Structure 1
Amino acid sequence: MSKGIESIFKPYLQPKKAYEGGKGIPPSKGKKIYKLSSNENPLGQSPKATEALLKAAQNVHIYPDQTDIRLREALAKDFDHQLLADQFICGNSGSEIIDMILRAFVNEGDEVIFSNPCFLPYSVFSRWYGAVQVDIPLLEPDYTLDLEGILNAIGPKTKIIFLTSPNNPTGTYIPKSVLDDFFHRIPNNILVVFDEVYRHFANASDYITALPYVQQGFNIIGINSFSKTYGLAGQRIGYGYSTEKIAKYLRQIHKPFLLPLTSLEAGIGALEDENFIQKTVETVHEGREFLSEAFDQLGIVYWPSQANFFLIDPPLPEFEFTEILMEQGIMVRPVSQFGAPGKVRITIGDHEANKALVNALQKIKPQG
């Protein structure tokens, strides 16, 4: 008797649970729901992106561009031509760029290093390719990077190191001095994937992106998304940038017609809307200050954030806390699956949403 189809299933793909994104807004029966669970843009989307998207929608019967060159050229302009168009790689979300990188570089048995709490796809996606996962947790209580731990974990099978700044779900960042030290101590045959999706919201004096390290020729890829600052989460657009050698290699697995026409045009339009980007950043910064003060007054334990969300230690068990807020029309996200058991992540909304959140929290008495 022949073996069943299960005999050719990859063992490292089962029976593991897949990554699940944030939940959508449930039916509310007329009650307003504030979705502060998925780090979406509190202002919606760029008007210029909407205009470009609607115009493109008239032609969705036609195949889109075969390549992403027009978006890459727009990105090069957005980066003030500090990078060439050939140094970018685009895809359907920042998550897909991560998947492309793993597919291009990782073989079964290779090691991938990440630091929990972190974005779950680092571990879930690397498992798809049979990678050995090495978790070097962030150092508590401040969730700082364990630089020495990562360096000591590097071995002959290490292929990729994931770094995130600002980090999801903690909101913490990696200071420039730490990164400078790090890049001068790792072997030159290891790729660093630097997730900077929330970079626009960081305003710490020693915050730094992947850009200067790419310019210096280090083996690093900066990961970005149009879902946050640009308000295009529903269009699923992301990009990475790196050295020309790495970017050219990655584009070898870039499918033709990868980006839908509407996404392509919306992305290009969003990059041109400087006023919307500035207003989004200002809204997040104002909300971050407002909520920090409110958390202090309410006795809510939280971590200082450089992103558009906060990680808090709720005064009740995480799921009970989440359900109570949901009853008051506030959606937040428990992040145990991100490696932060018992904690909850709260997106910074517009002022109305932030006030609604504070009003809801006032009805919950912190323990202790």
Structure 2
Amino acid sequence: MEKGIESIFKAHLEPKEVYKGGKNIPSTARKIYKLSSNENPIGASPKAVEAAKTALSQIDIYPDQTDIRLREALVKDFNSELDIDQFITANSGSEVIDMLLRAFVSEGDEVIFSNPCFLPYAVFSRWYGAKQIDVPLLEPNYDLDVEGILQAINEKTKVIFLTNPNNPTGTYIPKAKLESFLARVPKNILIVFDEVYRHFADAEDYITALPYVKQGYSILGLNSFSKTYGLAGLRIGYGYTTKTIANYLRLIHKPFLMPLPSLEAAIGALNDENFIEETVKTVKEGRRYLADSFIELGIRFWPSQANFFIIEPPLPEMEFTNNLMEHGVMVRPVTQFGAPGKVRITIGNQEANEALITAMKKIMP
């Protein structure tokens, strides 16, 4: 009896919830403030834009076969603390996640993450047949459950996702807690340390993956050009890790992977120190303004080390979101991220932040 094409489908790719990005600004005559996708509040790096425009005159030819020029720029950006062979790049931080899961995870393996968190950790690992182990952050402060993760580790554990600062909560992992955790994790498990919001963190005990990569831990610092550099539309990301892990990941790195405009824009953005400083300054000023405003309005929120806040809205999350949209402000409910009833609000420029607070005052019950 002839079988249909479904007979060759992979069993673990059965229909399930997929990752849905934030909505784009709808076509409308009125001004909309998009505070739903954690994009840069002041736009894109001028040096990156100029580099991308120049590259457009060459899009009839193939781009660089490898990413070596971008990795050279990253070495410089990291003050030569890492070697060129310790970087891996891709079309977005999300694709770096996909690449490392493709390289390390097989059907039946286990991947650990902690909700609320970035949904692709679970969605992408499912593509490769991995079992998702959720060790939730500890409420009410969304602290990392170190003991819970350690207890969840077994011989099938291949990857552990840590996010610092965390999306969507804006919380972070203090240095002492991180070091205690790293000392107790088996060396044959890859720790993916998602630090795409690292530029905005200013807590005294905040730390990136850099010192632990230099010490030889099995850890990968995941980064993106979508936030600080304002290149979300060009989809560029990178990771840094030990030479052993990076060289292994390069075995599945496609040739001509990065479009020329994206490659040139990323290199240009790394050289635009003024834009980076202005972005960080705008976010930190906006973070203080919104925190003070939330307190004034009696809105429950969590202190943030990122370019967004998570709040407990005064109305049901969808009603709150839709009502704000009626006043020209887009925000994002984060039930899908594992935080039911909460809403994530990106920090914008001062005009956008004031528009948000004005709108919230109008819809407060």
**TM range, normalised to the smaller chain?**
over 0.9
Q: Per-residue deviation at 1:255?
A: 0.2
Q: Per-residue deviation at 1:67?
A: 0.3
In the alignment, structure 1 segments of 5+ residues that lack a partner are none
Superposed, which structure 2 residues align to 1:1-368 within 5 Å?
Answer: 1-28=1-28, 30-365=29-364
Question: In the aligned structure 1, how far is the partner of 2:32 from the partner of 2:287?
Answer: 20
Deviation string, structure 1 residues 209-241 (Cα, Å, up to 9, x no partner): 000000000000000000000000000000000
Scaled by the length of structure 1, what TM-score is found? 0.99
Query: Secondary structure of 1:113's match?
Result: strand
Q: Per-residue deviation at 1:365?
A: 2.3
Query: 2:301–2:310: 8 Å Cα contact kept in structure 1?
Result: yes
Query: 2:22–2:332: 8 Å Cα contact kept in structure 1?
Result: yes
Q: Per-residue deviation at 1:9?
A: 1.1
Question: In the aligned structure 1, how far is the partner of 2:280 from the partner of 2:306?
Answer: 10
Question: In the aligned structure 1, how far is the partner of 2:79 from the partner of 2:174?
Answer: 24
Superposed CA RMSD: 0.6
1:108 alignment partner AA: E
Question: In the aligned structure 1, how far is the partner of 2:181 from the partner of 2:315?
Answer: 38
Q: Per-residue deviation at 1:17?
A: 2.1
Q: Per-residue deviation at 1:59?
A: 0.5
Q: Per-residue deviation at 1:274?
A: 0.2
1:50 alignment partner AA: V
Question: In the aligned structure 2, how far is the partner of 1:209 from the partner of 1:349?
Answer: 24
Question: In the aligned structure 2, how far is the partner of 1:274 from the partner of 1:98?
Answer: 27
Deviation string, structure 1 residues 164-212 (Cα, Å, up to 9, x no partner): 0000000000000011101111111111000000000000000000000
Which portions of structure 1, spanning 4 or more consecutive aligned residues, are displaced by more than 6 angstroms? none
Question: In the aligned structure 2, how far is the partner of 1:187 from the partner of 1:39?
Answer: 34
1:240 alignment partner AA: G
Query: Secondary structure of 1:99's match?
Result: helix
Query: Secondary structure of 1:53's match?
Result: helix
Question: In the aligned structure 1, how far is the partner of 2:129 from the partner of 2:364?
Answer: 46
1:32 alignment partner AA: K
Q: Per-residue deviation at 1:15?
A: 1.2
Query: Secondary structure of 1:62's match?
Result: coil
Q: Per-residue deviation at 1:348?
A: 0.1
Deviation string, structure 1 residues 121-170 (Cα, Å, up to 9, x no partner): 00000000000110000000000000000001000100000000000000
Query: Secondary structure of 1:363's match?
Result: helix
Q: Per-residue deviation at 1:8?
A: 1.3
Deviation string, structure 1 residues 64-98 (Cα, Å, up to 9, x no partner): 00000000000000000000111000000000000
Q: Per-residue deviation at 1:18?
A: 1.6
**Stretch of structure 1 that moved more, 282-291 or 6-15:** 6-15
Question: In the aligned structure 2, how far is the partner of 1:96 from the partner of 1:2?
Answer: 37
**Stretch of structure 1 that moved more, 7-16 or 136-145:** 7-16
1:350 alignment partner AA: N
Deviation string, structure 1 residues 32-62 (Cα, Å, up to 9, x no partner): 0000000000100000001100000110001
* Number of aligned residues: 365
Deviation string, structure 1 residues 241-275 (Cα, Å, up to 9, x no partner): 00000000001100000000000000000000000
Query: 2:333–2:342: 8 Å Cα contact kept in structure 1?
Result: yes
2:10 alignment partner AA: K
Q: Per-residue deviation at 1:364?
A: 2.4
Query: Secondary structure of 2:167's match?
Result: coil
Question: In the aligned structure 2, how far is the partner of 1:89 from the partner of 1:365?
Answer: 47
Query: Secondary structure of 2:363's match?
Result: coil
Query: 2:324–2:363: 8 Å Cα contact kept in structure 1?
Result: no
Query: Secondary structure of 1:312's match?
Result: strand
In the alignment, structure 2 segments of 5+ residues that lack a partner are none
Percent identity over paired residues: 72
2:13 alignment partner AA: L
Q: Per-residue deviation at 1:10?
A: 1.4
